[in-house]
Amino acid sequence: MHHDTMSEYLGLFLDELDEQLQILDERLLELERDSAQPHTIGTIFRAAHTLKGSSAAMGLIRIKELTHQMENIFDLMRSDRLCVSQALMNVLFDCVDEIKAMKGDIQEGRGENERDIGELLGRLTPFSLGEGADGRPAVSDAKKEGGGAAGPGIAIDGFHSKAILHAWENGFRALRIRAHFMPDETFAYARALVVNNLMQELGEVIASYPTPEELAESDSRHAYVEFLLLTSEEERTIGQRLSQVSQMGEFNVTAVERAELAAEEEERKQSASEASAPGGSGASAEARSARGGQTVRVDVERLEKLLNLVGELLIDNTRLHEVRKRLNEQFGEQPDINELGDIAHQIDKVIGELQDGMMKTRMLPIEQLFNRFPRMMRDVAQQVGKEFDFVMEGKETELDRTLIEEIGDPIIHILRNCADHAIELPEERLLLGKPRQGKIVLKAAHQDNHIVITISDDGKGIDPAKIKAACVGKGVITQAEADKLSDHEAVQLIFRSGVSTARQVTDLSGRGVGMDIVRAHIERLNGLVDIDTKVGRGTTFTIKLPLTLAIIRSLLVGVGEHSFALPLVNVVEIVRLEPEQLQNLQGQEVCVIRGSVFPLVRLADKLGLGGARTESGTEGRPLIVMIGVAEKRVCLVVDRTIGNQEIVIKSLGSYVGQVPYLAGATLLGDGRVGLILDAAAFCREDHLAFRQEEQHAAHAASAELEEQYVSFRMEREQYAIRAGKVREIITVPQLFTIAASPGGVMGMIQLRGRTVPVIDLSRGLGLASRSLKDSSRIIVMELDGRELGIWTDEIGEILKIRKSEAESALEVLPSVQSDWIEGVYHARGQMIILLGIDKRPPRIDETLTLREALLSY
């Protein structure tokens, strides 16, 4: 065997094998659902045929033999001589699986020879001989071995397209004529010539498949011959004339559709022949595949390398900017220096586009991955006896190819769980008053710079009570801890390792096999996974991922002389702590932010940067960056934040190996190496997480009695809102006012790439409009999934207010007709008005005579 040539083409072959197997899988499913689709069978047939040819060329005898037999079966189906049956479908699916397995062997360098396909061939034979597996004849007009198998139809290439367009312009028809031979035809070649002669009499034949010469080969097994004919005759006439050829089977005559033409020709000629040409323009999958030659396969490594170079360029250009800045400082404004700046800016733009383009070349539709699922779900459904409709949406959503490879396993895991555990048995569902068939929806969509994949089912949902009971039973948490958990928190437990691997939990809750692995996997990709479930109604998993792994948006922070990058997706907020917010709990430093306790990690100590002490002056008021992975939060103490930057991730390399807390490295603008922190590693630290949960639970327990409020001042009055929905409190950034904004909306602010409206409550509170002061702060709340900023003159403090301590608005202020004033609280002789903004955002036009009310009080 020519081994060198082999390996050179093997990669190409395997790629093709992949594609064709995909088509087989997809179309077989289609066939199973809807057996009588000639188009479907045609596609399957061509896939099998293509595989037969290429595997034979590669000397892969077993794959060739298997695909050959499959091709025969499809040929029988296509000519209605074999009907689809469950038994047949199962054999065919098994064949596809076997070829996949052989592909795996080949990829691992074992070749295809280890497998015995005899059994499968044995199972296929009865069908090709016209018997079903049950012994009944499945073939209506039995065609024995040697009956002609045929090739695919004519793929319309650029040359054909040109001729067809020309013909259309001159008022001719372009027809695709397929004439089937009789099953026992022994003179297909001669018969094809007869038809060929007839075709030439009727018009101009621009292509035929197979060519008569191909039919002349003694081993030819084509079942039909197809012609592309340019003619002035009508389809009907062609049909009549064809019927005058003796000893021919059925034939079909179809007009060539515009969509079938090769792409480039179509584009070039589109405008010219729009009016005169018949045929639609809907681009079918068929047409896309017919185009061919429009794409180039590129080795991924080459792309990676290019992307790396773009990254370097990015870094070099940042240096250029810095040099310009230094020159400016040294020599002041000089024409040459300014020009240097202009050039650097121009390069910025070019690099930006280059980077964009490079990213796009790495993007693939998630279809690649999704296409594997219908088949898998079918198998799972059969195995477990469930019935459900599997729907996929957003297949065209594009994301980085490395991500596509990585995200497959977690999705498979969740999907399997949905089918296996979440969806009830059909009878069970009927009893529950649900439709017999369940539904599983897999959806992908872009959201800002992320891709969001959701998997929802309408199954039994996850019962938090059962999860809790199981966790307590397994000793993962204590009963006391379990009692403190909210339902949402309880459900999150399925992501805990001790829980998810426990068999009992699986049986009880119906979920959780390896969910910890799912989460770990997603987190490694800088992603987040969330779960939302309703008992009896179903469950939705939401996976949020960055679009790419190669370039991430990051927050650069400084510790001593070192710079570190934190993936922005993990950054929750940046806070300057006050001394009283720092506490010590069981020997672990923690900080209290808006009433919640978070573990505090001093980066300098953690990473062993002993020399780098915190900058003086802020010793007591450390700057922290709160990072989050899933539900966990950890506050990192840093010296300073440097800014947002897109960074190109470079691995640390094998000589450095795995370094704790580091995910990789990048080059910074000044040419120095910046280390990328692994947010997940910090959040994973068990003792930290444990404490946090304990605190969290303790906090939840006390919440029954008291609620936390953030108080703030407007003019001279104190107000307070519940802390629960408060995301963060920020100093006033640049405020973009909007023309004709609704009353009360002061403007918009940019918050980590999002636009957030800022509301001035003054009017509602009967105060004069606000203006910016040093003490002004904006409270950012999340209401119904949207962010909203509330302007305040000054932030007060965190109040813990027991329900009994507050007087309800109705008692105190009976004249106040607003449902968002909840009550009044007295603290240190001051009256604080509690606003229920989180329950219902204020209507801006609400005219509130609160002051009058207060005065009267």
Q: Which two tokens stand for residue 476?
A: 């993962």
Q: How many residues does the chain have?
A: 857
Site residues for another protein, window 450-489 (CB under 8 A)? Answer: none
3-state secondary structure at position 176: strand
> Could you tell me the two tokens for 851?
């002051």
Question: Do 445 and 452 contact (CB within 8 A), yes or no?
Answer: yes
CB of 197 to another protein, least distance (A): 4
In this complex, which beta carbon is closest to another protein, that of residue 127 or of residue 189?
A: 189
Cβ within 8 Å of residue 166, ≥6 positions away: none
Q: How far is the CB of 245 from another protein (least distance, A)?
A: 6
Q: Is there a contact between 533 and 491 (Cβ–Cβ < 8 Å)?
A: yes
One of 5, 7, 200, 486 touching another protein (CB under 8 A): 200
The amino acid sitting at 184 is D
Provide, for the chain, the percentages of residues in helix, strand and coil under a 3-state DSSP scheme, each rounded to the nearest 5. 45, 25, 30
- CB 191 → another protein: shortest distance, Å? 8
- Our CB check for another protein shows the closer of 195 and 482 to be 195
Q: Which is nearer to another protein, 190 or 431 (CB)?
A: 190
Least distance in angstroms from the C-beta of 194 to another protein: 5
Binding mask 792-821 for another protein (x = CB under 8 A): ------------------------------
Work out the burial of residue 28: count CB atoms within 10 Å of its CB; fewer than 13 is exposed, 13-18 middle, 19 or more buried: buried
Whole-number minimum distance, CB 217 to another protein, in Å?
11
Q: Which is nearer to another protein, 250 or 267 (CB)?
A: 250
User: Which residue, 190 or 343, is less far from another protein as judged by CB?
Assistant: 190
CB of 187 to another protein, least distance (A): 5
Q: Least Å distance between CB 144 and another protein?
A: 18
* One-letter identity of residue 459: G
Q: What is the 3-state secondary structure (H, E, C) of 192-239?
A: HHHHHHHHHHHEEEEEEECCHHHHHCCCCCCCEEEEEEEECCCHHHHH
Stretch that binds another protein, among 198-206, 363-371, 785-793, 846-854 (CB under 8 A): 198-206
Question: What is the phi/psi pair of residue 274, to 5°?
Answer: -50, -50
- Is 504 a binder of another protein (CB under 8 A)? no
Shortest reach from residue 183's CB to another protein, in Å: 15
With CB under 8 A as the contact rule, the residue among 14, 193, 327, 642 that binds another protein is 193
CB of 175 to another protein, least distance (A): 18
Contacts (Cβ under 8 Å, ≥6 apart) of 843:
none
CA–CA dist 467, 460 (Å, integer): 14
Q: Which residue has the tokens 């009433």?
A: 595
**190/432 with CB nearer another protein:** 190
Distances (CA, A) of 130 to 133, 302, 588: 10, 51, 76
Q: Considering the complex, what minimum distance in angstroms separates the CB of residue 95 from another protein?
A: 33
Residue 209: strand pairing partners: 226
> Three-class SS string for 95-110?
HHHHHHHHHHHHHCCC
Q: Classify strands 807-808 and 830-835 as parallel, antiparallel or unpaired.
A: unpaired
Annotate each residue in 608-647 with x if it binds another protein (CB under 8 A) or - if it does not, as one string: ----------------------------------------
With respect to another protein, which residue has the nearer C-beta, 194 or 327? 194
Instruction: Specify the residue, 142 or 193, whose C-beta has the smaller distance to another protein.
Output: 193
Which one-letter amino acid corresponds to residue 455?
A: I
Q: What angle do CA 825, 809, 699 make, to 5 degrees?
A: 50
Per-residue DSSP letters for 784-827? TTEEEEEEESEEEEEEEEEGGGSEEHHHH-TT---TTEEEEEEE
Give the burial string for 568-606 (b: 16+ CB within 10 Å, else e).
Answer: bbbbbbbbebeeebbeeeeebbbbbbbbbbbbbbbbbeb
Q: Please give the full DSSP string across 310-355, using - where no structure is assigned.
A: HHHHHHHHHHHHHHHHHHHHHH-S-HHHHHHHHHHHHHHHHHHHHH
- Count Cβ atoms within 10 A of the Cβ of residue 803 and give its class: 0-12 exposed, 13-18 middle, 19 or more buried: exposed
CB of 247 to another protein, least distance (A): 7
Site for another protein in 228-267 (CB under 8 A): 241, 243-247
Strand partners, 311: none
**Catalytic residue numbers?**
49, 71, 417
Residues 6+ apart with CB under 8 A from 683: 627, 628, 629, 630, 632, 633, 634, 689
- Bridge partners, residue 553, by sequence: 646
Shortest Cβ 244–another protein spacing (Å)? 5
Our CB check for another protein shows the closer of 189 and 719 to be 189
- Please, which residue, 210 or 669, has the CB nearer to another protein? 210
Site string (204-233) toward another protein, x via CB under 8 A: --------x---x-----------------
**Closest to another protein by CB, 247 or 449:** 247
Which residues lie closer than 8 Å to 75 by C-beta, 6 or more apart? 45, 147, 148, 149, 150, 223
Query: Tokens at residue 664, please?
Result: 């990789």
Binding mask 153-192 for another protein (x = CB under 8 A): ---------------------------------xx-xx--
Among 116, 201, 250, 389, binds another protein (CB under 8 A): 201
Stretch that binds another protein, among 194-202, 457-465, 619-627, 840-848 (CB under 8 A): 194-202
H or E stretch at 643: strand 640-648
User: Which residue's CB is nearer to another protein, number 222 or number 429?
Assistant: 222
> Which residue, 198 or 647, has its beta carbon nearer to another protein?
198
Report in angstroms how near the CB of residue 88 gets to another protein at its nearest: 33
Distance CA 647, CA 554 (A): 7
Give me the residue label for tokens 């302007």.
Answer: 791
Q: Tell me, by CB under 8 A, how many residues bind another protein.
A: 18
Binding site for another protein (CB under 8 A): 186-187, 189-190, 193-194, 197-198, 200-201, 212, 216, 241, 243-247
